[in-house]
Amino acid sequence: MPSAVAPPRAPIDPLSIGAVAVAIAAVASSAPLIAFAAAPALAIAFWRNFLALVVLGPIALYRRRAELRALTTGAGRRTAGYCVLAGLALAVHFAAWMPSVQLTSVAAATALVVTQPVWQGLIALGQGRRLSMLAWLGIGLAVAGAIWAVGADFGVSGRAVAGDLLAIAGGMAAAVYTALGERVRSTISTVGYTTVCYGVCAAALLVVCLAGGVRLGGYDPGTWLAVLGLVVGAQLLGHTMFNYALRRISATTISVLFLLEAPGAALLAWAWLGQVPRAAALPGLLLLLAGVAVVLHGEARTAARRPGAGRTPLPAPPEAGTPPAGRGPGRP
């Protein structure tokens, strides 16, 4: 976990807001697709990262070769180290949360993994950043609303308890992954970062699958389509767009926005799997949305009080094209 304060971010722009909106819609498809797929959870986690790497790898080698090469020398090694740690944290998140859905109820697993903003806030404190009371209030409202909305059904069996603990561990790992991404996204492009991160994650999950004898093939066509849906949706359009937005939006705010996955998944399950949302969940959804609004309002107030607020900002690091003069090779 990085202990240094994350570098300053560029002002939030419409493109970052749009990226977050796409990401929320994409990650909401994750739980229904995992529930539909007839494959081990760890295998699904491996394939979604490996196939995403297959898509992003050639792009990174073609457009970001100098940037990737710079990660092996000088100051770039520090950035590379954060990328590797982020990939390992992502692997822990997938390895914990996805099996938890099969051990406890989907409702309980979802409710516990969305405690991520709490861990994100504690990480921010560890980095020396104090969150406002408004931010903590919003986090509390959003987490409470998400738990209410999914109608957490905590089991009492040993199997269910193990699933509950894995879901909590998944939320913690997701917070570490997001914090590490925030730390490096000002010095490396989205494609470069996600290529390294997904590659490390896929490699770690492959080792776990091989060591545990997890079956990696022989699935029916419907399961492979679900895996491809996870790659295109939750992985490439979901995690990648959130990583893009970390250039301008704090990790704490991103983690709160991730809570919107819960109602989105519920709507998709209703339309696709016929799982009608409970009327009792509606107040929870409203509470979640209120919490998100409070956090975003607090973020805007904090940004307005920063030194230099209102001045013309320096341009953010570009995501494509030739690196600006005066910067090292491969810098975004």
**Per-residue model confidence as pLDDT tens digits over 162-191:** 888 898 899 899 999 989 988 887 788 888
Percentage above 90 pLDDT, the chain: 26
Is the confidence at residue 320, as pLDDT, over 70? no
**CA–CA gap between residue 31 and residue 264 (Å, rounded):** 10
Percentage above 70 pLDDT, the chain: 79
Is the confidence at residue 89, as pLDDT, over 80? yes
Categorize the per-residue pLDDT at 12 as very low, low, confident or very high, splitting at 50, 70 and 90. Answer: low
> How much is the CA Rg of the chain, to the nearest whole Å?
19
Region 188-211 average pLDDT: 94
pLDDT of the residue at 275: 65
Q: Which residue has the higher pLDDT, 96 or 146?
A: 96
- The answer to which of 2-6, 23-27, 115-119, 169-173 has the lowest mean pLDDT is 2-6
Region 291-317 average pLDDT: 62
Q: Whole-model pTM?
A: 0.74
**CA–CA gap between residue 22 and residue 310 (Å, rounded):** 28
Distances (CA, A) of 77 to 68, 69, 190: 10, 10, 17
pLDDT of the residue at 224: 95
Domain ranges (residues) in the chain: 14-305
pLDDT of the residue at 113: 81
Is the confidence at residue 292, as pLDDT, over 80? no
Residues whose CB is less than 8 angstroms from the CB of residue 180 and which lie 6 or more positions away in sequence, other chains included: 1, 2, 82, 83, 85, 86, 89
Region 86-113 average pLDDT: 84
Is the confidence at residue 93, as pLDDT, over 90? yes
Categorize the per-residue pLDDT at 325 as very low, low, confident or very high, splitting at 50, 70 and 90. Answer: very low
Is the confidence at residue 272, as pLDDT, over 70? no
Across 68-91, b (16+ Cβ under 10 Å) vs e yields bebbeeeebeebbebbbbbbbbbb
Is the confidence at residue 311, as pLDDT, over 90? no
Region 229-258 average pLDDT: 82
Q: Which residue has the higher pLDDT, 27 or 312?
A: 27
Is the confidence at residue 109, as pLDDT, over 70? yes
Q: Provide the Cα torsion 298, 283, 146, 159; round to 10°.
A: 160
Categorize the per-residue pLDDT at 118 as very low, low, confident or very high, splitting at 50, 70 and 90. Answer: confident
Q: What is the pLDDT of residues 31-66, one digit of tens each?
A: 778 778 888 989 999 999 999 999 999 999 999 889
Is the confidence at residue 214, as pLDDT, over 90? yes
Q: Is 245 exposed, middle or buried (0-12, 13-18, 19+ CB in 10 A)?
A: buried
Mean pLDDT across the chain: 79
Categorize the per-residue pLDDT at 323 as very low, low, confident or very high, splitting at 50, 70 and 90. Answer: very low
Is the confidence at residue 215, as pLDDT, over 70? yes
Is the confidence at residue 216, as pLDDT, over 90? yes
Residues whose CB is less than 8 angstroms from the CB of residue 76 and which lie 6 or more positions away in sequence, other chains included: 70, 328, 330
**CA–CA gap between residue 205 and residue 176 (Å, rounded):** 17
The DSSP element (H or E) to which 225 belongs, if any, is helix 221-230
